[in-house]
Amino acid sequence: MWKVVFSCSLVILALSATLHVSFRAPPVTMSRSALPTVMNAIRVARFGGPEVLKLESNVPMPQPSEGQVLLRVHAAGVNPVETYIRAGTYARKPELPFTPGSDAAGEIADVGAGVNNVKVGDRVFTRSAQGAYAQYALASAGDVQPLSAKLTYEQGAALPVPYLTAYRALFLRGAAKTGETVLIHGGTGGVGTAAIQLALSQGLRVLATGGTDAGLDMLRTLGVHGAFNHRQSGYTEQIHAATDGKGVDLIVENLANVNLDADLRLLALGGRVMVVGNRGRIEVNPRDLMMAEGDVRGVMLFHTTPEEYVTSYAAIQAAVDSGHVRPVIGKRFPLGESPAAHDDIINTSGALGKLVLTVE
C-alpha cells in the first residue's frame, strides 16, 4: 500500500515539475463578484474624424450571455478598417453609439452558460471582441484562442486580423507553394510583417518593400531575402533583377491604388497578385496581365469560412510554437489616445510593425 502511495506521489511531483517548467503561472484575477459595474471605454456617438473617439469612464459593464465570454482586455489591435468604420465610409455601419475594435488579448474574466472550452483566468486572444477599445469586452467563446506563454498581450492583440489576413492571402487565396518567390509590397506594417513571417515559415523566398531606412533594416532583421525601397526610382527593376528576370510568383499588395500597375509587370508566368489593401482607383495595362497569364485576386477576411478559420489558426499557432511567428509591435498608445492612434495608422510615413492600444 505504501509503495503505491509513494509511487503516485512521485508521479504527481514529476507532473508538477513538468508543468512548472512548461507553463507560466496563471494570472491573478478578480472573482466574478468583484467585477466592477462600469468601465473605461472608447465611444463613438457620431461618424467623423479621429476626434469622435471619446474616452468615457462610466460605460456599463457587459454581461456574458450563453456561449459568450467576458474578456479583461489588456491590449487591442488597431486596424485600418476601424478608421473607415469610425468615419462612416465602410460598407457596414454599426449602430451609434458604439465602441470600436475587434482584435483583443487579455484574460477571461467571466463566462456565460454553456462555455466549457475556456475558464476564468485563461490568457486568450480573439478576432471578434464586441468593442475591443475598452477595459472589458464580450466575445463568442468559439472565437477565443489560447495565447501562448511565449507572447505578450500586445503581441496577442497583433495576431488576429493581420495574421489571418496574411495567411488567407498567401495560402487560401494565393495558393503559395514552398520554393516560390513572394513579394510583400508594404512589408513593414502589421499585415506585411505577418505575411513575411508566415511565408518564411513555409519555405518561400521572400522579397519585401519598405519606405524608410529604418523599415528596410527591420525587413532584413526579419530575414527577408531582399529588401527594396518603394520610394526609390528604379526599385521594380531591382526586384526583377533579384529574380534573375523571371519575376515573382506571388505578390501580397497592401496599397493597390499606388502599386498595382507596377505589380503586373513584376509577375512571373502564372503569377498572382493578392490585393489586401486599397485606398482609391488606379489605371493598369491589361496587356501586362496577359503577358504573364496572371491573376489579380481580392482578399477579404470577412469571407473566411469556419473551416478556413480552423485551418488558419492551427497554422498560426504552429508557427508561434516553432518560433517563426513573433508579432512586431511598432507603436503603443494608451486607450485614451485612440484618436492619435487612428491618425497615425492612416497618415504615418512608414510603419514599423503593428500598432496597438494598451488598456489599464
Is 48 among the domain residues?
A: yes
- Burial of 269: CB neighbours in 10 Å, binned 0-12, 13-18, 19+: exposed
For residues 120-125, give the mean pLDDT. 97
Confidence at residue 39, expressed as pLDDT on a 0 to 100 scale: 98
Q: Which residue has cell 510603419?
A: 351
Is 21 among the domain residues?
A: no
Confidence at residue 21, expressed as pLDDT on a 0 to 100 scale: 33
Give the tens place of pLDDT for each residue, 319-357.
999 999 999 999 999 999 999 999 999 988 778 899 999
Residues belonging to the chain: 360
Shared-domain flag, residues 291 and 167: yes
Is 13 among the domain residues?
A: no
- Three-state DSSP at 222 gives helix
Is 36 among the domain residues?
A: yes
Is 341 among the domain residues?
A: yes
- Distance, in Å, from the CA atom of 176 to the CA atom of 166, rounded to the nearest integer, reads 11
- Three-state DSSP at 170 gives helix
Q: Which residue has cell 495558393?
A: 175
pLDDT above 70 covers a percentage of the chain that reads 91
Confidence at residue 32, expressed as pLDDT on a 0 to 100 scale: 61
Q: Which three cell numbers stand for residue 350?
A: 512608414
8 Å CB contact between 158 and 327: yes
| Domains in the chain, number | 2
Q: Is the pLDDT of residue 166 over 50?
A: yes
- Distance, in Å, from the CA atom of 112 to the CA atom of 116, rounded to the nearest integer, reads 9
Shared-domain flag, residues 130 and 263: no
Give the tens place of pLDDT for each residue, 145-165.
999 999 999 999 999 999 999
Shared-domain flag, residues 209 and 339: no
Confidence at residue 31, expressed as pLDDT on a 0 to 100 scale: 56
Shared-domain flag, residues 113 and 199: no
Confidence at residue 348, expressed as pLDDT on a 0 to 100 scale: 81
Buried b (16+ CB within 10 A) or exposed e, 44-82: beeeeebebbebeeebebbebeeebbbbbbbbbbbbbeb
pLDDT above 90 covers a percentage of the chain that reads 87
Shared-domain flag, residues 155 and 177: no
Confidence at residue 58, expressed as pLDDT on a 0 to 100 scale: 95
Reported as type and span, the H/E element at residue 303 is none
Is 265 among the domain residues?
A: yes
Is 313 among the domain residues?
A: no
- Distance, in Å, from the CA atom of 304 to the CA atom of 349, rounded to the nearest integer, reads 31
- Distance, in Å, from the CA atom of 230 to the CA atom of 186, rounded to the nearest integer, reads 8
CATH of the domain at 267: 3.40.50.720
Shared-domain flag, residues 193 and 299: yes
For the full predicted model, state whether its pTM sits above 0.85: yes
Give the tens place of pLDDT for each residue, 47-94.
999 999 999 999 999 999 999 999 999 999 999 999 999 999 998 899
Q: Which residue has cell 499606388?
A: 258
Give the tens place of pLDDT for each residue, 198-226.
999 999 999 999 999 999 999 999 999 99
Shared-domain flag, residues 246 and 115: no
Q: Is the pLDDT of residue 172 over 80?
A: yes
Shared-domain flag, residues 181 and 251: yes
Residue 133: what residue type? Answer: Y
Shared-domain flag, residues 172 and 83: no
CATH of the domain at 138: 3.90.180.10
Which strands make up the sheet holding 226-229, listed edge to edge? 226-229, 205-210, 181-185, 248-253, 267-275, 295-298
How many Cβ atoms sit within 10 Å of the Cβ of residue 131?
Answer: 24
Shared-domain flag, residues 278 and 337: no
- Burial of 94: CB neighbours in 10 Å, binned 0-12, 13-18, 19+: middle
Find the domain containing 212 and state its range.
Answer: 162-303
Shared-domain flag, residues 126 and 150: yes
Shared-domain flag, residues 187 and 254: yes
Q: How confident is the model at residue 4 (pLDDT cuts 50, 70, 90)?
A: very low
Q: Which three cell numbers stand for residue 9?
A: 506521489
